[in-house]
């Protein structure tokens, strides 16, 4: 059976997530700083009485996911950028997740349209009893017919209370997984389409982390930073720049995070880059699985 949810709270989170996504989308313009867009979008969510479910992701061109602004980040959008905006709100244990692609160049309209089309095609397959590979098969079919490739090692996921990426992986191709969706289940349908080969690898940038357990670091600074993470973010993802608001030394923060990593209580999320440097477009909605279809909550 699917996990029980407070669906009303989930819909509230979905509404704020969608509003924040539209707000952030409007901020993505040539010359705008990524740091400003991240922080303004996160503050928008806080202004609605919620907190970010994870740091706002602004991944550009061949970068598919997990880029969030660094401390004092000076990077600006350019007129040649293809930008993935991925964010979500959190209220208590209810989590939102949605994404859209912004083409500042005007050169990638077909790719962006393909991402949106594959998302809608995938959503049309979502219902109780649907096999996961049947959803992926539809995404792959639509992507290839549009002249692109799905990214095969990225996809959608179940969303459970307190856990954003939970239990099941919803592929963007037919991976043979015949696991069936259940009525009442909450899932993120997330399509990634590329002009490249269709696989992502870890990039060089690492700004997002998640503490996964208790630890007792030896270094005093690491103990303080660990306590701050527990107090402010618990086991939810956080950005390095969030910690820097209380601990201004980036070197000290990274040293503390390295110690937590050595204690096996820290998960890292490096940027994910298309292996052949192909352009990437993303589209994502969070839905509730129903008997005959699904209900979108990020709207």
Catalytic residue among 42, 157, 274, 286: 157
Catalytic residue among 97, 103, 138, 274: 97
Catalytic residue among 93, 116, 160, 165: 165
Q: How far is CA 52 from CA 55, 56, 87, 159, 191, in A?
A: 6, 8, 8, 15, 22
Active site residue 183: no
| Longest CA pairwise span in the chain (Å) | 57
Helix crossing, 220-232 with 250-262: angle to 10°? 80
Tokens of 53: 């479910």
Active site residue 163: no
Active site residue 165: yes
Residue 220 backbone phi and psi in degrees, to 5: -60, -45
Q: How far is CA 43 from CA 19, 23, 46, 89, 179, in A?
A: 12, 11, 5, 11, 38
Catalytic residue among 190, 259, 274, 286: 190
Catalytic residue among 42, 73, 284, 286: 284
Active site residue 43: no
Spatial CA neighbour of 239 closest among 273, 275, 209: 209
C-alpha count within 13 angstroms, C-beta hemisphere, residue 149? 17
* SS3 state at 231: helix
Catalytic residue among 42, 62, 81, 86: 86
Active site residue 230: no
Active site residue 190: yes
The catalytic residues are: 86, 97, 157, 165, 190, 284
């Amino acid at each position: 059976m699917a996990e029980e949810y407070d669906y009303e709270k989930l819909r509230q989170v979905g509404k704020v997530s969608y509003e924040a996504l539209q707000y952030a989308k409007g901020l993505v313009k040539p010359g705008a700083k990524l740091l400003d867009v991240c922080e303004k979008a996160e503050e928008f969510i806080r202004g609605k009485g919620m907190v970010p479910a994870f740091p706002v992701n602004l991944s550009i061109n061949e970068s598919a996911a997990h880029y969030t602004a660094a401390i004092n980040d000076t990077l600006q959008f350019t007129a040649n950028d293809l930008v993935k905006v991925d964010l979500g709100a959190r209220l208590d244990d209810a989590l939102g997740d949605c994404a859209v692609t912004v083409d500042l160049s005007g050169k990638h309209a077909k790719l962006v349209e393909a991402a949106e089309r594959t998302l809608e095609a995938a959503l049309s397959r979502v219902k109780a009893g649907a096999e996961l590979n049947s959803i992926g098969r539809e995404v792959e079919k639509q992507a290839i017919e549009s002249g692109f490739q799905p990214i095969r090692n990225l996809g959608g996921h179940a969303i459970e209370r307190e856990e954003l990426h939970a239990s099941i992986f919803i592929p963007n191709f037919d991976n043979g997984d015949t696991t069936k969706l259940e009525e009442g289940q909450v899932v993120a349908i997330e399509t990634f389409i590329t002009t490249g080969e269709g696989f992502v690898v870890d990039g060089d940038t690492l700004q997002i982390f998640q503490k996964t357990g208790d630890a007792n670091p030896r270094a005093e600074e690491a103990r303080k930073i660990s306590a701050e993470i527990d107090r402010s973010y618990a086991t939810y993802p956080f950005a390095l720049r969030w910690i820097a608001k209380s601990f201004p030394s980036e070197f000290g923060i990274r040293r503390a995070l390295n110690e937590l990593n050595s204690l096996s209580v820290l998960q890292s999320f490096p940027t994910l880059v298309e292996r052949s440097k192909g352009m990437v477009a993303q589209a994502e909605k969070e839905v509730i699985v129903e008997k005959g279809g699904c209900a979108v909550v990020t709207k």
